[in-house]
């Protein structure tokens, strides 16, 4: 169960930022004893891979904080984030961590299962993020973009660390994301009704 939560948290984190969970796993696997990556994911702790991930992260962090550019970035990341989510779920659920010392056979014997699960989870989180950003930009004249992006980056870092160090708390993150999704959908519907009412009032005048 804990390895499922670890993989889920890392995949959800990738939906917010593709490179943070991969970089966190690589760094912890290379420089600490908190995470031992499975054989198929040892490449994440390679020095060159870590450097490339760090450079890509810097580009992502900067691009995601500029209005309009963030929308283009989200379009590109539609492929990258789910892919990273699949890699993160597969590597995370098969790793030995401070809380998981013997990953379940289900994930080690069916290699494709965690990858597919990670892709689906990351794609779902990415979809909510990509849909929310234009609304935030429009309602704040672009001022909200860097704020929202920073919150997402911090959340991605925290979720990655929690997924590895204390996976039971991933449930709290997931509940918060579900709540935000429902709030966001309701808010969009309310704003659409307000715009329709305003247009109708204008026509009557």
Q: What per-residue confidence (pLDDT) applies to 22?
A: 94
- Please write the tens of the pLDDT for every residue from 142-200: 787 788 889 889 989 998 998 888 777 777 777 877 787 777 677 767 777 766 666 66
Q: What is the mean pLDDT of the chain?
A: 81
Q: What's the average model confidence in pLDDT over 29-57?
A: 90
Q: What per-residue confidence (pLDDT) applies to 81?
A: 92
Angle, helices 112-140 vs 69-93, to 10°: value is 150
Tokens of 50: 């870590």
Hey, where are the domains in the chain?
Answer: 2-170
Please state the pTM of the whole predicted model.
0.80
Q: Largest Cα–Cα distance in the chain?
A: 70
173-180 contacts, C-beta under 8 A, 24 or more apart: 173/9, 173/12, 174/8, 174/12, 177/12, 177/125, 177/128, 180/128
């Amino acid at each position: 169960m804990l390895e499922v939560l670890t993989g889920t948290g890392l995949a959800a984190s990738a939906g917010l930022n593709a490179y943070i969970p991969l970089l966190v796993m690589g760094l912890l696997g290379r420089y600490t004893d908190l995470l031992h990556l499975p054989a198929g994911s040892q490449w994440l702790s390679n020095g060159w891979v870590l450097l490339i991930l760090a450079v890509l992260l810097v580009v992502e962090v900067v691009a995601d904080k500029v209005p309009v550019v963030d929308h283009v970035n989200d379009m590109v990341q539609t492929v990258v984030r789910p892919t990273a989510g699949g890699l993160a779920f597969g590597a995370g659920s098969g790793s030995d961590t401070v809380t998981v010392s013997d990953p379940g056979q289900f994930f080690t014997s069916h290699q494709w299962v965690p990858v597919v699960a990670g892709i689906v989870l990351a794609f779902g989180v990415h979809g909510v993020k990509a849909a929310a950003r234009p609304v935030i930009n429009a309602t704040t004249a672009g001022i909200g973009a860097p704020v929202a992006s920073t919150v997402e980056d911090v959340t991605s870092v925290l979720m990655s660390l929690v997924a590895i160090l204390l996976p039971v708390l991933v449930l709290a993150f997931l509940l918060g994301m579900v709540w935000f999704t429902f709030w966001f959908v309701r808010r969009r519907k309310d704003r659409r009704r307000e715009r329709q009412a305003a247009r109708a009032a204008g026509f009557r005048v």
